[in-house]
Amino acid sequence: MRSERTHVLLDLDGTLSDSEPGILRSLQWAFDKEGFPIPTKEQVRSVIGPPFEIGLPQIGIPDDDLERVIDRYRERYATIGAFENTLYPGIVEMLDALSRDGLSLSVATAKPEVTAHPILDYFNISDRFAVRAGATLTPDRRAKAEVIEFALDELGISGDPDLGDHVIMVGDRDHDVLGAKRHGIPCIGVTWGYGDPPELLGSGAVALADSPAEVVDLVHDSYRLNHW
């Protein structure tokens, strides 16, 4: 192995898969059913990643109506929208390459586990991950930092004083970077998802990857960068 990295945590939406079509259609359907103006594609794209409790108020849903709109969204998403979804080109090859290098791979997504697990099963990649950590439908595990904490606990490494040396996060939004930073873990930002380079670099990403193949090299190079 070319570095001291032992674990890679991977985001799901915007990192492993392009989930935008299903999220877009399901949110537009929910807004319409609940009597709110239908959001544009650009508005929906801006809220993919973080929990909807954070994003939906930014595109017109009052706090008092959040639970109702989210429940309506889940009606469609759970059975239809979750599978209007594709893996990005090169993802399977990236997972294979990281595994060949001896790295343990886990998913850490703010998407609820009740939908994240079926999506990973749908793509037939569940068995590639040591842990598949997602959010709960209750308030105890919703933020990205909480999901990462759960993943580290499941991996049995949450007490490692050198987490930043051994673990790295890969994600496409600032909440991936900031959630990892809460645990002293560096994050590689990917540019093919729903964030952009200024967002990722501004939140502290250690490097940017323009393709899944580039992630493989950066996982190892990031150790060198951390110890420059």
Give 85-131 as a DSSP string.
Answer: -EEPTTHHHHHHHHHHTT-EEEEEEEEEHHHHHHHHHHTT-GGG-SE
Q: Is residue 2 part of a domain?
A: no
Q: Same domain, yes or no, for 121 and 214?
A: yes
Phi, psi of 124 (to 5 degrees): 60, 40
CATH of the domain at 169: 3.40.50.1000
Q: Which of 83, 105, 126 is the last residue of a domain?
A: 83
Q: Same domain, yes or no, for 138 and 208?
A: yes
Neighbours of 102 (CB within 10 A): 10
Phi, psi of 168 (to 5 degrees): -140, 145
What domain count does the chain have?
2
CA dist., res. 44 & res. 177, Å (int): 21
CATH of the domain at 41: 1.10.150.240
Q: Is residue 125 part of a domain?
A: yes
Q: Same domain, yes or no, for 66 and 171?
A: no
Please tell me the predicted confidence (pLDDT) of residue 221: 84
Tokens matching residue 109: 């997504």
Q: Is residue 161 part of a domain?
A: yes
Q: Is residue 149 part of a domain?
A: yes
Q: Same domain, yes or no, for 25 and 138?
A: no
Q: Under DSSP, is residue 22 helix (H, G, I), strand (E, B) or coil?
A: helix
**Buried residues in 37-62 as b, exposed as e (16+ CB within 10 A):** eebeeebbbebbbbbbeebbeebebe
Q: Is residue 96 part of a domain?
A: yes
Q: Same domain, yes or no, for 73 and 97?
A: no
Q: Is residue 1 part of a domain?
A: no
Please tell me the predicted confidence (pLDDT) of residue 139: 87
Q: Are 106 and 131 in contact (CB under 8 A)?
A: yes
pTM: 0.94
Phi, psi of 66 (to 5 degrees): -60, -50
Q: What is the pLDDT along the chain (228 residues), one digit of tens a residue?
A: 444 789 999 999 999 999 999 999 999 999 999 999 999 999 999 999 999 999 999 999 999 999 999 999 999 999 999 999 999 999 999 999 999 999 999 999 999 999 999 999 999 999 999 999 999 998 899 999 999 999 999 999 998 899 999 999 999 999 999 999 999 999 999 999 999 999 999 999 999 999 999 999 999 887 665 654
Please tell me the predicted confidence (pLDDT) of residue 159: 86
- Of 72, 38, 33, nearest to 52 (Cα)? 72
Q: Same domain, yes or no, for 75 and 167?
A: no
CA dist., res. 170 & res. 187, Å (int): 5
Q: Same domain, yes or no, for 11 and 117?
A: yes
Q: Which of 36, 55, 83 is the last residue of a domain?
A: 83
Phi, psi of 6 (to 5 degrees): -125, -25
Please tell me the predicted confidence (pLDDT) of residue 220: 84
Q: Same domain, yes or no, for 151 and 56?
A: no
Q: Is residue 60 part of a domain?
A: yes
Please tell me the predicted confidence (pLDDT) of residue 2: 45
Q: Is residue 139 part of a domain?
A: yes
Q: Same domain, yes or no, for 42 and 14?
A: no
- The amino acid at residue 45 is R
* 11 is known as an active-site residue: yes
Q: Same domain, yes or no, for 94 and 121?
A: yes
Q: Which of 38, 66, 83 is the last residue of a domain?
A: 83
Residue in the structure block whose two tokens are 């809460």: 182
Residue in the structure block whose two tokens are 């992630």: 215
Q: Same domain, yes or no, for 77 and 167?
A: no
Neighbours of 224 (CB within 10 A): 11
CA dist., res. 80 & res. 30, Å (int): 13
Q: Same domain, yes or no, for 95 and 139?
A: yes
Q: Give the domain extent around 79.
A: 20-83
- Of 194, 154, 155, nearest to 176 (Cα)? 194
Catalytic choice (11, 18, 165, 172): 11
